[in-house]
Structure 1
């Protein structure tokens, strides 16, 4: 593993067509019961192999065993009724039919821990595992029980903490919390969002990360980005809070975005996962395009704290495109790594 500029993915990778319908964010499984479990495990092994072959240093499960980065976790909790559904506005961007919180939420058994232990057995590299953050979880549900977004978020934070501690015990090196909702609900982030996230990481000895992007490359997100103007300043609203938090790593979107790179200065001292791969296009970046983003970021983050990554997950892309993008990420990081390690003449 490269100790300087270690590469990673922010989230999901495409599933094989024999496991689920390709090109979809919500892919229907091809199998059921024991056959589905075996297929998921095969896909997880394959995902690890493809990441390693592409030169990715901090590997993940690529979310091969889950349909969705939020809902699959919620499916395993008590207190949520998936039959009783309501239409809600997701991240103030698009409408979706979601399950309903009908009682006290709880986690009776681990959700991803067996998958994480399986992944740990099949790679020698550092392993990163993503969980949904508390605020993003409540934004994907209709609550008819708690009557308070904050109270429900705190309940989820405690549940996530239980899961994260068991993931750590299973050999996960980095637990990442996905909080795209941070880019929308600024007052709540300030009032209780970061505090709830800190509750989720409480007592963990492994490294912790928070991933905050502008979303998958789906139409609703693409159209929303068009309304944000020439400078995307959302990170400016809460980076100072994260800088003072106990989170170790902050992940942000930089490739083909309008995020001013100098906003990274607001999290000085943290490790930074810099998104250098655009997940909203099928065009594969060149290594030099990746390197340009990383060079720019190095003006505001020390080299030993820079983690080249993808902007977001790549589930809706083809496997061929995703492989090309992973190879470009590794090659671009290698260019910059060589520049850092080779003294100027």
Structure 2
């Protein structure tokens, strides 16, 4: 008889109404003091735990909550603090913690990048010269809190040492083992203290196991977890993997741990195939990730229960954990606040709380039989069938277009070199033209105005007038600063993806479906629930108005098909690339409309192109080929004189530089600020023959860059990049920054550009 236990991997931090975000930002702005901040955060953390207890989850994770990022928490727990933050030992001050994440006037923030192939960003640990030590047993602290205050004997969550090191920077590959040898004893101490406390299960997250690893990496796992096992007597380790299938399945399930967590949703069937082929150790707990932790669609409980029953019959395990495929960090908190959605769509949704309910129901169904949850099973079947059979998922003109894609050109008329000559004459820009990425500050007044309009307090005319006033001010500011290519500021937009989701057919937007992107930055991904199609112009009115205010070029600003796809919750009944093609065809009409209305520079941003890469490198080529095709499908019908820009941020570009070139955009802007210009090394090894702008300062930090430091970045870049093709810009949009920060930073950027132009002119003389 198999014992069945409900479990999960992590809960959203932000709160039903983003209480976490609001508390953080009140503290950062000085509106509450440190004691009040910590008290409010504790109340929120305990509230989250109580909710999970009330939902009858047997194994509740503790320590998954964070003040900013769980990877940063791991760094701080081990005292891995970059020297520039002047850490002198002992408990890491809260001010230092946030400075690492956000920077301050003395030090640049640590680099931030994507957490595997999700839209969550983590703070990259800097291990150069690291001498790690335990500053605090964080998992023990939160285990005690949950037990003492709520009576919950939780499951502490720790990021595993090998994943942590693999995600870090600042060391050479040959130094990996020596660094790991420093961390393993510290992990053992933490685990032994948990064991002494009476903890039954600890979850050690090692998602790096779902990537393409070499045989020697698996040997390192064996050595590391043997060291853990030999140091413990009663503590059970759940080795948790997620996001993909396990290439080294047999070796992983043989590791000396008491349980293995496996993703059965995002593995494309690989893990289930391995179990059927090789079996699963009967002396280990199988933690089955059977509910999608990264998407928002309701499960067909009949199908899920039958699958779980098959898993039990196939493996004959003594204990089965029923759980989501990954942490629920990646989905909104609850559907209960979504009163504006149609009943068909709302009934088809499952956010974090609803997923926990599904976990509890499936656990009950396995223990007591399907009849015990018969009503819930029937409700789930009806909800899934209703959305699949709806007219929204069966739009004839969209299906016809996808079947006849060969009728749409995906190639520009002329080569880049030919277009470049035409565009030089068209725009008459100076050497090293300056611009921004797109958005200007979204002040409290802008957000207040949008709320007033959406609530009906303001009429369309009042809101349009307000947006025009903001554009007037934004264009004037950019001209005063001396930028060469301007933007309209995106004051009318709530989010670069959600805004398009509000305008395109096949999308719906939630009222409160927020998820964490980085730090306190939350986004509300639109729901792609049907066939995507163009309804009417989306960005044309604002772009045309802004262009009428100036003789300088104003870029039309769109979000690209792959980014809209990757930053949305996507229907799961057809292949993702088909959805991307639908989006691309809709954007193609918007691009053509902008061009027809006199907008001659059009930026189609793809910041999420790389983050959608499969974790297995042998799947990259197919993904990238489809992503490039979608971008070109959206952008290739314009005239040679129309300049297509794109933007990407916070990714490692060296391994996809050929793909970036294949997009055939006339200009690409890339983040290079937090990585301290490391991307420049890519161009020392590979030639890039199109227009490129490297972000010269970090917009995610309130710090104002000095002219000299921007000059230094530019000088380094121009050693390997052609100044004739080089653009100067911040590393991302400016919506999160204050007006005075933006003005000062852009003035430094423009001044640095002038100085470099003068130096280049002198060198040519």
> Which TM class, normalised by the smaller chain length?
0.7 to 0.9
**Hey, what does 1:194 align to over in structure 2?**
628
Separation of aligned partners in 2, 1:288 and 1:313: 22
Contact 2:506–2:531 under 8 Å retained in 1: yes
> Match for residue 334 of structure 1?
754
Cα deviation code 1:199-252 (max 9, x no counterpart): 1111112111120002xxxxxxxxxxxxxxxxx7x1012111222342111111
Shift of residue 155, structure 1, vs aligned partner: 0.7
Larger RCO, structure (CA 8 Å, separation 6 or more) = 1
Q: CA, structure 1 residues 135+277, in 2 after alignment: closer, same or farther (shift >3 Å)?
A: same
Q: SS where residue 445 of structure 2 aligns?
A: coil
Residue of structure 1 in register with 2:725 after alignment: 305
Distance, in Å, in 1 between the alignment partners of 2:672 and 2:683 is: 10
Structure showing the higher strand proportion among its residues: 1
Contact 2:514 2:524 in 1 (8 A): yes
- Measure the CA separation in 2 of the matches of 1:327 and 1:59: 14
User: Which structure has the greater CA radius of gyration?
Assistant: 2
Spell out the pairing of 1:1-345 with structure 2 (5 A cutoff): 2-20=429-447, 28-31=450-453, 32=458, 33-83=460-510, 98-144=525-571, 147-186=574-613, 187=620, 189-205=623-639, 206-214=642-650, 234-258=652-676, 259-265=678-684, 266=686, 268-343=688-763
Q: Match of 1:130, SS?
A: strand
Tell me the alpha carbon deviations over residues 280-322 of structure 1, each in whole angstroms, 9 at most, x when there is no partner. Answer: 1111111111111111111121111110001001111110001
How much does 1:101 deviate? 2.3
**SS of residue in 1 equivalent to 2:486:** strand
Query: Are the equivalent residues in 2 in contact too, given 1:268–1:300 (CA < 8 A)?
Result: no
Q: TM-score, normalised by structure 1?
A: 0.85
SS for the counterpart of 1:184 is helix
Q: More helix by proportion, 1 or 2?
A: 2
Q: Using a 3 Å threshold, how does the CA distance of structure 1 residues 51 and 143 change in structure 2: closer, same or farther?
A: same
1:137 Cα deviation from its structure 2 partner: 0.5
**Deviations, residues 185-204 of structure 1 (Å, cap 9, x unaligned):** 23265231112111111111
- CA deviation after TM superposition for structure 1 residue 262, in Å: 2.3
- Secondary structure at 1:277 match in 2: coil
Pair 297,122 (structure 1): closer, same or farther in 2 beyond 3 Å: same
Q: Which runs of 5+ in 2 are unaligned?
A: 1-427, 614-619
Question: Partners of 1:72 and 1:37 in 2: how far apart?
Answer: 16
**Counterpart-to-counterpart distance in 1, 2:635 and 2:665:** 8
Q: Which runs of 4+ in 1 moved over 6 A?
A: 84-91
Within 2, Cα distance between the matches of 1:42 and 1:304?
35
Distance 2:511 2:575 in 1: 19
8 Å Cα contact 1:103/1:145 also seen in 2: no
- In the aligned structure 1, how far is the partner of 2:432 from the partner of 2:523? 38
Distance 1:325-1:88 versus aligned 2 partners, 3 A rule: closer
How far the C-alpha of 1:261 sits from its partner, in A, is 0.7
- Verify the 8 A CA contact 1:80 1:102 in the aligned structure 2: yes
Q: Say which SS state the counterpart of residue 763 (structure 2) adopts.
A: coil
